[in-house]
Amino acid sequence: MREIVFDTETTGLSPQGGDRMVEIGCVEMFNRVETGRTFHAYFNPGRSMPAGAEAVHGLSDIFLSDKPLFADQCEALLEFFEDSPLIAHNAMFDFGFLNHELGLCSRPVVCMTRMVDTLVLARQRHPGAKHSLDALCTRYGIDRSLRIKHGALIDAQLLAQVYVELTGGRQIGLSLAAEAPAAAEAPADAIIVATVARPPRPHRPSDEELRRHAAFVATLTDAIWDRVEGRG
């Protein structure tokens, strides 16, 4: 099954309040394995970048000034998406911005039934734990040393690895056979040695050992078995 893991960076938290998407990074997976195909683009938001948002992702007005508008990359992005499920962390946020940008381009929005939210998966699998992308990378031993600031493509690549762990780990394709495989036939020239199980050897005391045991028991006083049996 083909799936797309993606992440976005924005000018803020509210598309309805005028915030815009400034970066998107997408990673293609097939049967939970990264194919190496990615989609990555920066967008000129047509507005200034708040200092708080720039501190998170490091994308300045100067850097974004010569980047294309989202509308210029919209068709290429949709072509990369195809009709695959779309996976994101806190996906309502990313879907909100994605569909807002599509609406501004007069394009149909992405159906929410395609959404897979790894934050929801993480909360179900690890209730009470921390569920940020950094925390999940630490939990699963995923190297995030390149994540100095938030970046859509690097975050999507990390999330792809987290998604694999949340949905079964690296051995997701392994399954136990319903029945044990039949034994292979021996080659015609094989030498077959028949093995006969030896019956168990009896372990009983000798007559001498029995006499010595009886003599020892006769020296005991106030034996516990006499009290239990009411003979003391």
pLDDT at res. 94:
98
pLDDT at res. 62:
98
Average pLDDT over residues 66-83: 98
Other CB atoms within 10 Å distance of the CB of residue 89: 25
Provide the annotated active-site residues: 150
Going by the DSSP 8-state scheme, the letter that residue 58 receives in this structure is -
Which positions make up the binding site? Answer: 7, 9, 57, 155
Residues in CB range of 51: below 8 A, 6 or more apart: none
Tens digits of residue pLDDT in 25-60? 999 999 999 999 999 999 999 999 999 999 999 999
Which of 70, 66, 64 is CA-nearest to residue 103? 70
Per-residue burial over 147-186, b if 16 or more Cβ lie within 10 Å, else e, is: eeebbbbbbbbbbbbbbbbbeeeeeeeeeeeeeeeeeeee
pLDDT at res. 171:
55
pTM: 0.72
Q: How confident is the model at residue 66 (pLDDT cuts 50, 70, 90)?
A: very high
Strands 21-30 and 33-42: antiparallel
Which positions make up the binding site for a divalent metal cation? Answer: 7, 9, 155
Does residue 186 carry a pLDDT above 60? no
Other CB atoms within 10 Å distance of the CB of residue 41: 21
Tens digits of residue pLDDT in 188-222? 544 444 555 556 656 677 778 888 878 887 888 77
CATH architecture of the domain formed by 2-166: 2-Layer Sandwich (3.30)
Supply 21's token pair. 């998407």
Would you call 180 helix, strand, or coil by DSSP? coil
- 67 versus 219: which is more confidently predicted? 67
Average pLDDT over residues 59-84: 98
Tens digits of residue pLDDT in 128-183? 999 999 999 999 999 998 888 889 999 999 999 999 999 998 654 444 433 434 44
Residue 7, phi then psi, degrees to nearest 5: -145, 155
Would you call 155 helix, strand, or coil by DSSP? helix
Per-residue burial over 7-21, b if 16 or more Cβ lie within 10 Å, else e, is: bbbbbbeebeeebbb
Residues in CB range of 126: below 8 A, 6 or more apart: 139
